[in-house]
Amino acid sequence: MATDIQISIVGSAGDGTIAAGDILRNALAGMGYKVISFDVYPPEIRGFGKCIARMRITTEQAYSLKHQSDVLVSLDDSHAIPHAGELRDCGALVYEQKSLVKLPEGGHMSAHVGPGQLPYPVPIRELSEKSTGANRSRNIVVLGFLAGLFNLPAEGFRKAIGKKFRNKAAAAEASEAAFKAGLDYAAKTFKLDDVTFGPPVSSVVAGATVEMINGNAAIARGALDAGIDTFFGYPITPATSIMERLAAEMPRRGGRLLQTEDEISAISAVVGAGFAGARAATSTSGPGLSLMAEMLGMGVIGEVPSVVFVSQRGGPSTGMPTKTEQSDLHMAVYGGHGDAPRIVVAPTNVDGCYRCAGKAFEMAEAYQTPVIVLIDLYLSNRYETVVFPARPPFEADLNRKPGKPAAGAPYKRYALAADHVSPRAIPGDKGNMHVVTGLEHNELGRPNDSAELHTAMSRKRHEKLKLALNHPDFTKFKRFGDEGPVDVGVISWGSNFGECLEAMLRARSEGIRCAAMKVVMLSPFPTEAVAAFMADCKEVLVPELNYQGQFANLLQAHVAKPVTRLNRVSGEPMKVEEILEEIRRLAGRGKTAQKAA
């Protein structure tokens, strides 16, 4: 029996909502299920705001979260009540049996159980206090109750709890007691709902490993597996955990990490380290990327390999630090004075974060340029079950060596080569002294602002990036769904593509001829492939998480065909149903037009 179950846990900051979600997804992934998960939390650390741990557990590959959950758990009714309508009919609603204080009318979850929803009032606080002497383990009681109610192996939960609290013996002991209390209570509970877990399906290749990991962790792992030497960064939500993970791992591998005083210092140090021959990177979000613009231009004109990981959040300015958005595309692709081209790639899932991170170092070296890996808060914090290969799939060194210089001949660091990529010497290479400057320069690197030379060097800096469209073992774009002519084509990028793919698959199940394309390489843009896809489509839909339709703008700058834009700036992932409804509308319009013709 196939499994496709979504569980949402809703509470207040300080309730342990996110910790409970972390234990639950790791337990289920450890059992062999595929899991995709995303947490919502406020900017405040404790005592304010809503937290939601939401995860989808499947035996077949899923690409996004569902609009409705099969199980909803309330750790704080004031926050969970607005989400009661998100629980499907015949789904399980778990909540605190009674309140310690008098509540206003409608203030208890029991007043919001829908006609088709199945309630489970549980004495969560009482079970926590009796088993641990405190109410702080209510979140773990709930996990025990879910394990017992749905007949899930308790040992998998105990392993996940032990891992979560491996350095906190007292917390681990209390959690074990609270888990058992919830498990025992579930054994005395009559199951009302139709939520059923089938057996997991394993499809792991021999030698590979499976991990439950989020986008930021995958970025860090990709950088490590690609042999990153140095990292310079400044903390900023939602990119901080990239630096935190690298800070723990890099010293063990001989690397170096420095927290700088600001983002300008970070990118300056990255460009300097890249010039010195190191594989160097930084991470930031939109506000930090704005500060890095000038030094990115230095990396472009100096042709210095450097990597920047950017996790977008709601903006502008400080904006919404803990909400997701895809509104830095213009800044990533075009941000900077002068003609300052750079490579920009945007993974669409957590596995893609790992691969884009590692390939970014390859491309930075191969084409001697800054590379931006563009993700967002949704992808940074989204957990997925990822299969990692037995050996890292990244090249250790793609630097084009200059070779032995001819006797008496000056070394031309910026030689105008046929493929526009010059031989690159590392400082200290004998006989290859050269100048690197932010001024326009000749082939030797010496300042020169003649019209002819500036034209030639501008062409060089732009044309060499086109080689990245053929970079080996890297997915720049991919088509899914029906081949040939279709009624509706959905084209998207970044974290939003999973929702687009799910919507397309559902549209096809309804008999709509439909296809979807993800575009990973944003700069240089794969114009030929995208144009061919759009030529097959009667209607083209472009869903994205920004107000302007920034990807649609980029798309139409390269392909002259009208598109329908679906833009949202809610701070949350786009709903599959929204995209599906627009596909239906466009398919209907396309069929009507076809009949009229």
Mean pLDDT of 369-390: 95
The least confident of 24-38, 398-412, 451-465 is 398-412
**Does a structural domain hold residue 511?**
yes
Mean pLDDT of 471-479: 98
**Does a structural domain hold residue 393?**
no
User: Do 289 and 366 sit in the same domain of this protein?
Assistant: yes
Q: At 44, is the pLDDT very low, low, confident or very high (cuts 50, 70, 90)?
A: low
**Does a structural domain hold residue 530?**
yes
Query: Where are the alpha helices (H) located in 151-214, listed in sequence order?
Result: 154-164, 169-187
The least confident of 199-203, 208-212, 471-475 is 199-203
What was the pLDDT predicted at 568? 98
Comparing CA positions, the residue from 120, 102, 103, 125 lying closest to residue 11 is 125
What was the pLDDT predicted at 594? 42
Residue recorded with tokens 């920009």: 344
Residue recorded with tokens 């869903």: 543
- SS3 state of residue 106: coil
Beta strands in 234-382 (DSSP E): 256-259, 280-284, 306-312, 343-345, 370-376
Query: What is the domain-level CATH number for residue 62?
Result: 3.40.920.10
Rounded to an integer, what distance in angstroms lies between the CA atom of residue 358 and that of residue 371?
Answer: 11
State the number of CA atoms in the 13 A half-sphere of 221 facing the CB: 21
> Is the bond preceding residue 447 a cis peptide, omega within 30 degrees?
no
User: Do 251 and 382 sit in the same domain of this protein?
Assistant: yes
User: Do 141 and 285 sit in the same domain of this protein?
Assistant: no
Q: How far is CA 206 from CA 60, 202, 209, 355, 384, in A?
A: 19, 11, 8, 20, 20
> Is the bond preceding residue 427 a cis peptide, omega within 30 degrees?
no
What was the pLDDT predicted at 210? 84
- SS3 state of residue 47: coil
Domain that residue 107 falls in: 4-187
For the chain, helix (H) and strand (E) counts, in that order, are 18, 20
Mean pLDDT of 367-385: 97
Query: How many domains is the chain built from?
Result: 3
Q: Taking a C-beta distance cutoff of 8 angstroms, is the pair 322, 238 a contact?
A: yes
Angle at CA 331, nearest 5°, toward 328 and 337? Answer: 170
Rounded to an integer, what distance in angstroms lies between the CA atom of residue 98 and that of residue 388?
Answer: 46
Query: Where are the alpha helices (H) located in 428-476, listed in sequence order?
Result: 451-463
What was the pLDDT predicted at 596? 41
The least confident of 157-161, 217-221, 593-597 is 593-597
Mean pLDDT, rounded, of the chain: 94
User: Do 252 and 142 sit in the same domain of this protein?
Assistant: no
| pLDDT tops 80 at residue 428 | yes
Mean pLDDT of 353-377: 98
Residue 454, token pair as written in the block: 């500036």
User: Do 535 and 571 sit in the same domain of this protein?
Assistant: yes
Q: Global pTM?
A: 0.93
> Is the bond preceding residue 316 a cis peptide, omega within 30 degrees?
yes
Mean pLDDT of 134-162: 97
User: Do 371 and 260 sit in the same domain of this protein?
Assistant: yes
| pLDDT tops 60 at residue 286 | yes
Q: Which of 341, 366, 388 is the last residue of a domain?
A: 388
| pLDDT tops 60 at residue 491 | yes
Mean pLDDT of 204-208: 67
**Does a structural domain hold residue 400?**
no
User: Do 83 and 175 sit in the same domain of this protein?
Assistant: yes
User: Do 177 and 260 sit in the same domain of this protein?
Assistant: no
Q: At 430, is the pLDDT very low, low, confident or very high (cuts 50, 70, 90)?
A: confident
User: Do 147 and 213 sit in the same domain of this protein?
Assistant: no
User: Do 157 and 291 sit in the same domain of this protein?
Assistant: no
Residue 117, token pair as written in the block: 């929803």
Q: Which of 368, 388, 408 is the last residue of a domain?
A: 388
The least confident of 199-208, 247-256, 276-285, 435-444 is 199-208
Mean pLDDT of 460-482: 98
Q: Which of 388, 410, 440 is the last residue of a domain?
A: 388
User: Do 576 and 512 sit in the same domain of this protein?
Assistant: yes
What was the pLDDT predicted at 47? 58
**Does a structural domain hold residue 515?**
yes
What was the pLDDT predicted at 381? 95
Query: What is the domain-level CATH number for residue 532?
Result: 3.40.50.920
Residue 517, token pair as written in the block: 């394309």
Q: How far is CA 178 from CA 18, 66, 317, 479, in A?
A: 17, 30, 43, 48
Residue recorded with tokens 């207040």: 12
Give, to the nearest 10 degrees, the angle between helix 169-187 and helix 138-149.
Answer: 40
Mean pLDDT of 554-571: 97
Element (H, E) at 488: strand 486-492
**Does a structural domain hold residue 449?**
no
User: What is the percent of the chain where pLDDT is above 90?
Assistant: 89
| pLDDT tops 70 at residue 178 | yes
**Does a structural domain hold residue 69?**
yes
Burial string for 297-317 (b: 16+ CB within 10 Å, else e) reads: bbbbbbbbbbbbbbbbbbbee
